[in-house]
Amino acid sequence: MPLRPTPEVRGLARALAASAALAGLLATAACGARAGEETVATESCVDTSGDTVKVGSLNSLSGTMAISETTVRDAIALAVAEVNAAGGVQGKQIEIVAEDGASEPTVFAEKAEKLIREDCVAAVFGGWTSASRKAMLPVFEDNDSLLYYPVQYEGLEASENIFYTGATTNQQIIPALDYLAETGVESLYLVGSDYVFPRTANAIINAYAEAHGIEVLGEDYVTLGSTEFSTIVNQVKSADADAVFNTLNGDSNVAFFREYANVGLTAADMPVMSVSIAEEEVGGIGVENIEGQLAAWNYYQTVESPANTAFVEAFKAEYGAERVTSDPMEAAYNSVHLWAATVEKAGSFAVADVQAAADGVSFDSPEGTVVIDGDNHHVTKTARIGEIAADGLLYTVWESDGPIEPDPFLEGYDWAADLAVTE
Amino acid sequence: MNRFLQTRAGTWTGFAAAALVLFGLAPLLLSGFRLGLLAQFLCYAVVAVGIGLAWGRGGMLTLGQGVFFGMGAYLMAMHLKTADAEFRGGPGAVPDFMELAGIRELPAYWAPFSSPAFTIAAILVLPTAFAVLLGLAVFKRRVKGAYFAILSQALAGAFAILLIGQQSLGGFNGLSRFRYFFGFTLADPVNQRMLYFIAAGVLLSVVAVALQLRRSRYGELLVAVRDAEERVRFLGYDAANVKVVAYAVAALFASVAGAVFVPIVGIISPASIGIVPSIMFILGVAIGGRASLVGPVVGALAVAWAQTALSEQFPSAWTYAQGLLFVLVIALLPGGIASIASVARRFPTKRTQVEAAA
Amino acid sequence: MNIALSCKDIVVEFDGFRAVDGVDLELARGEVHFLIGPNGAGKTTLVDAVTGLAKYTGSVVKDGEELRGRKVHHIARKGIGRTFQTATVFEALTVAQNLDIAAGAGRSPWTLLRRRRHLPPHVRATMERIGLGDRADTPAGALAHGQKQWLEIGMLLVGDADVLLLDEPIAGMGHDERETTGRLLHDIAADRAVAVVEHDMDFMRAFASRVTVLHAGAVLASGSVDEVSGDPRVQEVYLGTAKEPADAATA
Amino acid sequence: MDLLVGQLLTGLSTGSILLLAALGLSLTFGQMGVVNMAHGEFIMAGCYTAYVVQQVVGDAGVSLLIALPIGFLVGGAMGLVLEALLLRRLYHRPLDTLLVTFGVGLVLQQAARDVFGAPAVNVSVPEALRGGVDLLGTTVPRTRLFIMALAVLAVTAVALVLRFTPAGRRIRAVTGNRDLAETAGISSRRVDAATFFIGSGLAGVAGVALTLIGSTSPTTGQSYLVDAFLVVVAGGLGRIKGAVVAAVALGALQAVFETYSTASLAKVGVFVVIVVFLQLRPQGLFTLRTRSLA
């Protein structure tokens, strides 16, 4: 504070006007392309002249999502090490530039831009939440670069610049419904966290239910991270549906399953089909609270295949015997191998060449052979229903007849016609 | 130095130096990506100036600035989405994310946002009016201090939850994928630089407004209310009105910052405006010096920069650092960086202590 | 007598306890009116009631206008000013700024949003009058205890209060400062009504024009210093217990 | 009718959880004016205490009974350290205590992440508390009945301590009038430390109990904190009685809102109700010291 009245700055209004004018002047002087005009494309700065080529690994290492995404980071690192051990890509060793998305969409966008523009990576692997993917999408499109996204998601998206190696809805949710219908389920109760994936999933479930004569007895959402389930579980109990379809996320699952078990509901009376509970989450919920419940994924650690045996062994050798492998980890692991195979096929690291060569590229992955669909940039995947066993692992109780073609906009399902508009 | 800066010539020199750095040096020295990052940080700094006014000068610890930041951001994002949709599909077209969510008709409350003028007016008026109403409701009833802080924090939590539930506002994913900004292609690096200049201009203007408010009689009155609200009331002032003005101005600043933030960063989602982001706004202000004018700006920039620079190498160390910064700065250096000079000059007069302690 | 403020049958109740129980009081311009009484007699509570801080029944009329139920700042604008037991000034602001704020309750928003170019003349004059003429740029927090109390009185003066309710204005002052304060009170009482809540009997004897003694929330006696001192009931409940006035002062 | 009874029960059980989380806050915030944002992390520390004890002891029932007093000591000790190292110098700056303790909370959270790992850990529910009891047409899990009982016990214990022990009387004296109590020879320093010990200890107890129904992860405490503060704000300054009423009212409100709208809107609804409530009863929320406004 001034100790005595100081001379007045009479022209503060003028100062304001001056800075505004200055900003305006510079802004207009610096005008770029307007809507509809051709933009000067940003030149890719990827350097392929040396012995190495860089790729980005962008995962949340801090914040609420770190728990899940660090596992994906490990899987990416494992795959890169394997590719390097096998002689690299186009004879070049791959070097990982790791970044922290900090569980915030804006940070994902910022770091993606840094990886592309400052580190000049040939491709980026990572992302988990849909929010982080949506935040990164324009960055990859504007800078014409590539993202490999490894998590099952709500579908309804297909970007030239993203390869989706996790399941879309017709590879996870619809098979789960098929399975429930096969086992005689005639009524469902839907419980989910309040965000895009559960809402989209439940829209699909409602449409499916209507077409297949299944009654939906209730649909409840809780805020992300909520741990108060007494009202909802009581409503579930009194609704007495044949099964519950659970799209809750994170810690909410812990509170939900504890409450569920405590009011006396069991997998035998009212099974819960979950789409976000993998090997990693079972420990926190407590096996005794969730034993016998169902999950829908494409991969479990217990899948029996030579490729998976090798994957699990390699992973445990690298990161410790107590670690488990899960679906998103496997999809991330696949994504690195798929990228490497595509680059080999294209004979080039250039984005356009990779995009052009992608169709039909395949990899013998732990879950079975996956093949890239060049039209929508998703991959074929085998759907599996798993049951949670006393050892905390999930065991396949049902699997689809071979890999399912990806259909992110559900164009192949008549009952889904009203759900989404094709882009 | 301080004395000089308080003279008219000093003020102009300060502004000229800041303008030189922001408009001259930074664009010259920084790559396009780094400049974009700086533009984002400048938005945080704008919020910080408002917090400095409300908290440092007015004693209102607003733990809910994310609400106003979010309002400005969402209002701007709504315009960008409708404009994009119109550009592709003609008037009344539905933005892409709504199509995906199965919304076929543009909701009525979206329609006016196709107008740029309406959008800008809304960004300036809506959050400010909301702050005035809320401020009157709270301050007239003499809810203050920690109670106010907790209420404002709960408000930020409630607001984020409300937004997550609104599918017609993008829900948890928020709004993203903007192509044009008032007709300019956002992908063009030249236009990105233009956005940076806008952010810099906004920051300078906001600092100028805050400076005038501080030096005016109102600024003295605000400090008086902060230090002894009841005394002010017994002098015949309605102290609540005094507080409402500062609160509303801080809300306005945050809203404008949010509006500029959206085209720069390309996304706004509830994750950027909830309880934790709101309290993180405070960290920069506390470090820089809550009661000073430039302190909050410097603090906000420093914290944002440190976060970017440190978090990638040491994600866990950064969380510790954040926590310890809160503890050490506020417990030991309540005047922030701005007070180091006076502390070092072994000049810890009552004045600085009192100001800092408020 | 020129009555400035008239209180009738004031009752203040806290959770069933009557802190002020039917007090009538008139304050006249030109008088320094002392309110005395033992701790808990209801002196400060009475001041709280008049200034709008405590809810009460009864009536407070200033210049023909009923003040009950008005808000604190409305009552202050009607020209009723008060000080507090602990001097309450704006410690971060200078003496000049303190007084300028106190003088400005009626300023327009436009004036408020501009800078103060120079001190209004009556503010400067008051600053001289309270003996702080050379301390204009001193932060109020750096003033001596007694100076803060003078500043607080000065703040009421520049705000054009003509009923001043002063709560222990000489608490903690030395002898000389008390004398100065006493003379200041008489000086300002020339065209104002001044009420002083005080424990210090010597000070009261020296400067009171009129004394009202409160006991257990009610008026025990009222009149000149001599009348009150001679009242046996007063001696019994109050003065009688305080053989040494200094005890009362520090109680 | 059944629905109404069900909601009432849900409200009671939600309310008792809120109350357990808020009771310690009501002491430290209401009676000392310290806004302890690390209270949530003290609750989290209680959760991990239950986890560690169970790892050592094995039997879920025995370990729960042992963990409750240990949780109290762990929470209390953390509170004592916090009070002695930091808060003591900040008593006249309540807003600063808020920010400082927020920083402490961040550090504790990250420490928990580094020690116990980011994934939630499992604390098993004792056999005796599994399953539910049919009450008035709805099933109430035994764990919730246990928490209700614990909440009643904790409130009673706090009330008794405040009323009948010398330490409690001193706490009440300092709350009532700090200066007067000091002149009466009560060391407000020691009383503050004692208050903080008890308040933080209650957070530890709450943490142990909450492992029965919720998850145990580094962010566990955060999810309870804002609601707990709202309970204290709505309940009024330093009033244990107010906190009890507010907790149950907010719990019931939440349950009713949740039944008739979505859980998300319920949160917003509760906030609106509190702001409106403040309009009607602001005097429940602040006390003005009339003799001195400094």
Domain enclosing residue B76, as ranges:
37-273
A30 pLDDT above the threshold of 60:
no
C117 Cβ under 8 Å from any chain A Cβ: yes
Where is mean pLDDT largest: B311-320, D33-42, D43-52? D43-52
Q: What integer is the mean pLDDT of D97-120?
A: 90
User: Under an 8 A CB cutoff, do D130 and A67 touch?
Assistant: no
What is the DSSP pairing of strand A362-365 with strand A368-371? Answer: antiparallel
User: Under an 8 A CB cutoff, do B235 and C102 touch?
Assistant: yes
Handedness of CA A134, A137, A138, A139 (dihedral sign): positive
Within 8 A of B57 by CB-CB distance, chain D residues are none
Within 8 A of C118 by CB-CB distance, chain A residues are 5
pLDDT of residue B98: 87
D294 Cβ under 8 Å from any chain C Cβ: yes
Statement to judge: residues B18 and B47 lie in one domain:
no
Within 8 A of C99 by CB-CB distance, chain A residues are none
Instruction: State the angle between helix axes of B116-139 and B65-89 in degrees (0 to 180), rounded to the nearest 10.
Output: 160
Confidence of residue C129 (pLDDT cuts 50, 70, 90): very high
Q: What angle do CA B191, B193, B197 make, to 5 degrees?
A: 115
Integer Cα distance of A103 and A126 in angstroms: 12
Strand partners, A412: none
B269 Cβ under 8 Å from any chain D Cβ: no
- Tokens read off for C175: 């002898």
Span of A159-173, A177-191, C5-19, D132-146 with lowest mean pLDDT: D132-146
pLDDT of residue D285: 43
Q: Where in chain A is the domain with CATH 3.40.50.2300?
A: 52-166+307-381, 173-297+385-416
Statement to judge: residues B150 and B8 lie in one domain:
no
Within 8 A of D294 by CB-CB distance, chain C residues are 84, 86, 88
User: Under an 8 A CB cutoff, do C139 and B234 touch?
Assistant: no
What is the per-residue DSSP string for B46-89? HHHHHHIIIIIIT----TTHHHHHHHHHHHHHHHHHHHHHHHHH
pLDDT of residue D238: 60
DSSP C84: -
Chain C residue with minimum CA distance to B227 = C90
pLDDT of residue A1: 35
Chain C residue with minimum CA distance to B228 = C90
Q: What angle do CA D105, D111, D116 make, to 5 degrees?
A: 125
Integer Cα distance of D1 and B348 in angstroms: 67
Pick the closest to residue D43 from D80, D10, D17 (CA basis).
D17
Residues C201, C240 contacting (CB under 8 angstroms): no
Of D29 and A269, more confident: A269
- Distance between A221 CA and the closest CA of chain D, angstroms: 6
**E strand or H helix at A192, and its extent?**
strand A187-193
Residues D222, D40 contacting (CB under 8 angstroms): yes
What is the per-residue DSSP string for A158-182? --TTEEE-S--GGGTHHHHHHHHHH
Q: What integer is the mean pLDDT of B201-221?
A: 95
Confidence of residue B347 (pLDDT cuts 50, 70, 90): very low
Within 8 A of B228 by CB-CB distance, chain C residues are 88-90
Average pLDDT, chain A: 88
**Residue C117 burial by Cβ neighbours in a 10 Å radius (0-12, 13-18, 19+):** exposed
Q: What integer is the mean pLDDT of B121-144?
A: 93
What is the DSSP pairing of strand C3-14 with strand C57-62? Answer: antiparallel
pLDDT of residue D166: 85
The structure tokens 């311009």 sit at C29
Where is mean pLDDT largest: A357-371, B327-341, C115-129, D15-29? A357-371
User: Under an 8 A CB cutoff, do C73 and B354 touch?
Assistant: no
C61 pLDDT above the threshold of 90:
yes
pLDDT of residue D290: 36
User: Under an 8 A CB cutoff, do B165 and D86 touch?
Assistant: no
Pick the closest to residue D230 from D210, D254, D209 (CA basis).
D254
Which residues have C-beta within 8 Å of that of residue A46, sequence separation ≥ 6? Answer: A53, A54, A120, A121, A122, A349, A350
Domains in chain C: boundaries: 3-250
Which CATH number is A173-297+385-416 given?
3.40.50.2300
pLDDT tens-digit map of A143-175? 999 999 999 999 989 999 999 999 999 999 999
Average pLDDT, chain C: 88
User: Under an 8 A CB cutoff, do A4 and C115 touch?
Assistant: no
Statement to judge: residues B244 and B105 lie in one domain:
yes
Instruction: State the angle between helix axes of B217-227 and B189-215 in degrees (0 to 180), rounded to the nearest 10.
Output: 80
Confidence of residue B338 (pLDDT cuts 50, 70, 90): confident
B354 pLDDT above the threshold of 60:
no
- Tokens read off for C69: 């139920």
Within 8 A of A9 by CB-CB distance, chain B residues are 8, 11-12, 211-212, 215
Residues A129, A65 contacting (CB under 8 angstroms): yes
Q: What integer is the mean pLDDT of D103-127?
A: 89
Strands in C176-216 per DSSP E: 193-197, 210-215
- Tokens read off for D237: 């300054």
Statement to judge: residues B153 and B168 lie in one domain:
yes
Q: Pinpoint the alpha helices (H) of A279-367.
A: 279-285, 287-290, 306-319, 327-346, 351-357
Q: Pinpoint the alpha helices (H) of A244-291.
A: 251-262, 279-285, 287-290
- Distance between D26 CA and the closest CA of chain B, angstroms: 13
A9 pLDDT above the threshold of 60:
no
Residues B236, C105 contacting (CB under 8 angstroms): yes
pLDDT of residue A22: 63
pLDDT of residue A24: 62
Within 8 A of B220 by CB-CB distance, chain C residues are 93, 97, 100-101, 116
Which residues have C-beta within 8 Å of that of residue B21, sequence separation ≥ 6? Answer: none
A421 pLDDT above the threshold of 70:
no
- Distance between A160 CA and the closest CA of chain B, angstroms: 14
B331 pLDDT above the threshold of 60:
yes
D66 pLDDT above the threshold of 80:
yes
Confidence of residue A26 (pLDDT cuts 50, 70, 90): low
Q: Which CATH number fits domain D2-249: 3.30.1380, 3.10.310, 3.30.200, 1.10.3470?
A: 1.10.3470
Of B119 and A3, more confident: B119
pLDDT of residue A382: 96
C140 Cβ under 8 Å from any chain A Cβ: no
Helix (H, G, I), strand (E, B) or coil at C57: strand
pLDDT of residue C247: 42
User: Under an 8 A CB cutoff, do A4 and C119 touch?
Assistant: no
User: Under an 8 A CB cutoff, do C119 and A8 touch?
Assistant: no
Within 8 A of B238 by CB-CB distance, chain C residues are 71, 73
One-letter amino acid for residue A321 of the chain: A
Q: Is residue B102 part of a domain?
A: yes
pLDDT of residue A328: 95
Where is mean pLDDT largest: A34-48, B28-42, C9-23, D278-292? B28-42
B357 Cβ under 8 Å from any chain C Cβ: no
Q: Is residue B226 part of a domain?
A: yes
C244 pLDDT above the threshold of 50:
no
Chain D residue with minimum CA distance to B287 = D99
pLDDT of residue B79: 96
pLDDT tens-digit map of A222-266? 887 788 888 889 889 889 999 999 999 877 898 899 899 888 899
DSSP A243: E
- Please give the biggest Cα pair distance in chain D: 58
- Distance between C114 CA and the closest CA of chain A, angstroms: 9
Within 8 A of B154 by CB-CB distance, chain D residues are 226, 229-230, 271, 274
Distances (CA, A) of B59 to B284, D94, D185: 16, 11, 34
**B88-96: long-range contacts (C-beta < 8 A, 24 or more apart)?**
B96/A423, B96/B177
- The last residue of a domain, from among B253, B273, B293: B273
DSSP C191: G
Span of B307-321, C133-147, C149-163 with lowest mean pLDDT: B307-321
Integer Cα distance of A9 and C249 in angstroms: 51
Residues D289, D237 contacting (CB under 8 angstroms): no
Helix (H, G, I), strand (E, B) or coil at D200: helix
pLDDT of residue A63: 75
pLDDT of residue D141: 87
**B24-31: long-range contacts (C-beta < 8 A, 24 or more apart)?**
B26/B196, B26/B200, B27/B193, B27/B196, B31/A117, B31/A118
Integer Cα distance of D245 and D281 in angstroms: 14
Residues C47, C167 contacting (CB under 8 angstroms): yes
C28 Cβ under 8 Å from any chain B Cβ: no
Q: What integer is the mean pLDDT of C123-143?
A: 93
pLDDT of residue A12: 54
A4 pLDDT above the threshold of 60:
no
Going across the sheet that includes C17-28, the strands are C17-28, C3-14, C57-62, C65-66
A332 pLDDT above the threshold of 50:
yes
Statement to judge: residues B236 and B169 lie in one domain:
yes
Q: Is residue B289 part of a domain?
A: no
Of D219 and D48, more confident: D48
- Distance between C58 CA and the closest CA of chain A, angstroms: 45
Domains in chain D: boundaries: 2-249
Within 8 A of B217 by CB-CB distance, chain C residues are 100-101, 104, 107, 111-116
pLDDT tens-digit map of B217-249? 999 999 999 999 999 999 999 999 999 999 999
- The last residue of a domain, from among B251, B273, B295: B273
Confidence of residue D136 (pLDDT cuts 50, 70, 90): confident
Confidence of residue A13 (pLDDT cuts 50, 70, 90): low
Task: Return the partners of chain D (3 or more C-beta pairs < 8 Å).
Answer: A, B, C
- CA trace torsion D253, D256, D260, D263 (10° rounding): 60
pLDDT of residue B209: 96
Integer Cα distance of D118 and C156 in angstroms: 61
B296 pLDDT above the threshold of 80:
yes
D32 pLDDT above the threshold of 60:
yes
Residues A295, A380 contacting (CB under 8 angstroms): no
- Distance between A232 CA and the closest CA of chain D, angstroms: 8
Handedness of CA A76, A77, A80, A82 (dihedral sign): negative
Confidence of residue B2 (pLDDT cuts 50, 70, 90): low
Phi, psi dihedral angles at B113 (to 5 degrees):
-80, 0
A129 pLDDT above the threshold of 70:
yes
Confidence of residue D77 (pLDDT cuts 50, 70, 90): very high
Integer Cα distance of C87 and C98 in angstroms: 13
pLDDT of residue B231: 93
- Distance between A9 CA and the closest CA of chain C, angstroms: 9
N- to C-terminal Cα separation, chain A: 59
Integer Cα distance of D62 and B355 in angstroms: 54
Q: What integer is the mean pLDDT of B143-152?
A: 85
Distances (CA, A) of B10 to B3, B14, B210: 8, 6, 16
Confidence of residue C83 (pLDDT cuts 50, 70, 90): very high
Within 8 A of A289 by CB-CB distance, chain D residues are 125
pLDDT of residue D187: 74
Statement to judge: residues B68 and B97 lie in one domain:
yes
Helix (H, G, I), strand (E, B) or coil at A135: helix
B275 Cβ under 8 Å from any chain D Cβ: yes
Find the CB nearest D100 among B141, B162, B326.
B326
Reported pTM: 0.90
- Tokens read off for D67: 């963990």
Confidence of residue A21 (pLDDT cuts 50, 70, 90): low
Instruction: Decide if domain A52-166+307-381 falls under CATH 1.10.1660.10.
Output: no
Pick the closest to residue C27 from C79, C72, C83 (CA basis).
C79
Integer Cα distance of A236 and A261 in angstroms: 12
B133 Cβ under 8 Å from any chain D Cβ: no
Strand partners, A95: A54
Pick the closest to residue B65 from B146, B124, B149 (CA basis).
B149
Integer Cα distance of B329 and B343 in angstroms: 13
Residues A262, A238 contacting (CB under 8 angstroms): no
The structure tokens 């309002």 sit at B71
Of B274 and A122, more confident: A122
Of D242 and C6, more confident: C6
- Tokens read off for B141: 């009833």
Instruction: Decide if domain C3-250 falls under CATH 3.30.1130.10.
Output: no
Phi, psi dihedral angles at A347 (to 5 degrees):
70, 25
Domain count, chain B: 2
